[in-house]
Amino acid sequence: MKYGIVGISGKMGQEIVAVMNERGHQLTMSMDIVAQNMREKPDVLIDFSLPAAFQKTKEFVEHHKVPLVIGTTGLTETQLGQIHQLSLLVPVVQSYNYSLGVHLLLHCIELVKDKVADWDVEITEVHHRFKKDKPSGTAIMMKQAVGSDVPISSLRLGNVVGEHTISFGGLGEVLSFKHTALSRRTFADGAARAAEAIEGKPVGLYSFRQILGL
């Protein structure tokens, strides 16, 4: 498969390139905020960059009608609306997290939440000092899985890749679920899996959970 990537100069971009190359795919287009290089039209575009780069992604997808896998966090409501509009033209996978473990965590939250409806609930997320958005997109997904206004505590420390914990507290016990990302490899693997799955799918907006079949 020929693929393009937005944000190739970033750490996630480099990780995705390494994983895609391992899986036998060919990089034919790369782009960031300042430059674009295309040798051949890609079969799919992967964007794990910053919200500031999304306009270029949008224009590329509209012009070339290329399926999109996007993992950018911190997008505005307007940009999320634009992603929906793109999904009317091409198949799009959008998620704030491409880790299998995180989506299993979300599934656990949905199984538990109604059984402890009268318990206190809090979410904590920890990331490296360079992460710009707060709270993380994954913490927002966890909050949405609970379905109520859950407090989120965000910490930016050192070089932590990503750690998310949700705790349900009753009078006499606390139940916690925690996911720790040990490297960016887990997100790159998920992005590659989504890119492989989206090729040939009907036009529409897909979650990574749908790609996983959960």
Interatomic CA distance for residues 90 and 65, integer angstroms: 6
Q: 51-74 as b/e, with b when 16 or more CB fall inside 10 Å? A: eebbebbbebbeeeebbbbbbbbb
- Given the residues 58, 64, 131, 201, the one annotated as active site: 131
Which listed residue (103, 127, 143, 164) is catalytic?
127
**What are the DSSP calls for 18-80, one per residue?**
HHHHHTT-EEEEEE-SS-EEESS--SEEEE-S-GGGHHHHHHHHHHH---EEE---S--HHHH
Q: Do 39 and 27 form a contact (C-beta atoms < 8 A)? A: no
According to DSSP, the β-strands at 26-31 and 36-38 are: antiparallel
Q: Could you tell me if 143 and 150 are in contact, meaning their C-beta atoms sit under 8 angstroms apart?
A: yes
What's the chain's length in residues? Answer: 214
Termini Cα distance of the chain: 25
On the CB side of 14, CA atoms within 13 Å amount to 4
Separation between Cα atoms, residue 48 and residue 62, nearest integer Å: 18
Identify whether 103 is a catalytic site residue: no
Q: Respond yes or no: is residue 64 known to be catalytic.
A: no
Kindly list the catalytic residues.
127, 131
